[in-house]
Amino acid sequence: MKRFAILSLLAFAVSASAATYEARTAHHAVVIHALPAAGDDVVYDVTISELPGENTLASVPMRAKTGAAVDKQVDVDGQQVSIHLAPAGNVMAYKIEIRKGDVIDSIQSAGATPSARAMYAPGDPPLRVGGDVKAPVVIHRVEPIYTVLARKSRISGIVILEAIIDHTGVVKDVQILKPLPFGLDQAAIDAVKQWTFRPGMLNGQPVDVIFNLTILFRAPDAASPAVDSVPSSGAAQPVLSSNAAGGPPFRVGGDVTPPVVLHHVEPMYPDAARRAQISGMVVIEAVIDRAGVVKDARVLEPLPFGLSEAALEAVRQWKFRPGMLQGKPVEVIFNLKINFHLPEPPSEPPPR
């Protein structure tokens, strides 16, 4: 078993006010938001990103009594993430393990106390909706324009946007997670930037949040409107009914739990890539249906020499326990990371 034991010198004092803590290793970055909750509880939002690139691996909400240890385990993209937070007097240490196969990346505190922000305030990093972080609610909505080109081409589909909505309910930033052609993705952005929200909340306090929105464009006909939109995290039962009836898939997060791999097919390592000594990671965005079957897949981060195609061909044969929302299977969008590692050359025999 390969084990990367990495000490991250991060520990923090337990206080009655909110604070943000960060650590970075060669393989992962960790950000912990600690916020006081009702009674003597503390809410933690632990975000783990992969390096380089800082792609979010997991955003994990946790809750504990002040001074009490708390543990949580989650499975993300075929990796098992184990989080342990434990107070010791007025210091909180932590240990995080990320396990993929026989490789473990262990990140743990060693007693140092970094400077921390005393209060959650405007300008602090936004929190992801989920757990005790409540979703914002649309109170003013502008419908996207169905572009002339898209209408002529009868283009239908979904645009998925990731928006930052501040503590006043204003949309501060929007980026495209899933585009559509003929100007539909830009039309969705232009509309959403004009929306206003009742802000996301944490323990009765408005906070800046990261929130996904799914904008559905349907080729217009006499029976249905051309555009619909639903939040793709923090979803409620009416949205679940839409998904079950063939509506757009949800992004994993909040109450939408990720699918779990049941049958895994290893990708072939193309000879051209092996000869060129190419290794690295292919990131694939997959749509996994309510039966756990890969319905669609596309490459987000490619590798050359046929590695991207090999990853796609393998993933399309995988089988999953489906994503769930409120106890029911739903169709989800889920990112998968496929690592290609060249075999290590045989070691030289020691000289005699």
Q: For residues 124 and 22, give the distance between their C-alpha atoms in angstroms, rounded to a whole number.
A: 13
pLDDT tens digit sequence for 27-63: 777 877 776 666 677 777 788 888 766 677 787 888 8
What does pLDDT average to over the chain? 76
Residue 256 has pLDDT above 70, yes or no: yes
Question: In percent, how much of the chain has pLDDT > 70?
Answer: 72
Question: In percent, how much of the chain has pLDDT > 90?
Answer: 13
309 backbone dihedrals φ, ψ, rounded to 5°: -65, -40
CATH code reported for the domain at 133-234: 3.30.2420.10
Residue 214 has pLDDT above 70, yes or no: yes
Lowest-confidence region among 166-180, 204-218, 236-250, 254-268: 236-250
Residue 253 has pLDDT above 80, yes or no: no
Considering Cα of 117, then 122, then 124, then 127, what sign does the dihedral take?
A: positive
DSSP class of residue 293 equals B
**Block residue for tokens 């989080």:** 83
208 backbone dihedrals φ, ψ, rounded to 5°: -70, 135
pLDDT score of 235: 30
Lowest-confidence region among 68-77, 128-137, 317-326: 128-137
C-alpha distance from residue 155 to each of 76, 159, 182, 243 (Å):
33, 12, 8, 20
pLDDT score of 211: 87
312 backbone dihedrals φ, ψ, rounded to 5°: -60, -45
Question: Where exactly are the structural domains of the chain?
Answer: 2-125, 133-234, 256-340
Average pLDDT over residues 192-206: 85
Residues 6+ apart with CB under 8 A from 16: 36
pLDDT tens digit sequence for 78-96: 888 888 887 665 566 778 8
Q: Extract the tokens encoding 125.
A: 């990093």
Higher pLDDT, 213 or 351: 213
pLDDT tens digit sequence for 261-294: 999 899 999 888 888 888 888 989 899 999 999 9
Residues 6+ apart with CB under 8 A from 79: 57, 98, 99, 100
CATH code reported for the domain at 256-340: 3.30.2420.10
Asked if the domains 133-234 and 256-340 are classified in one and the same CATH topology, the answer is yes
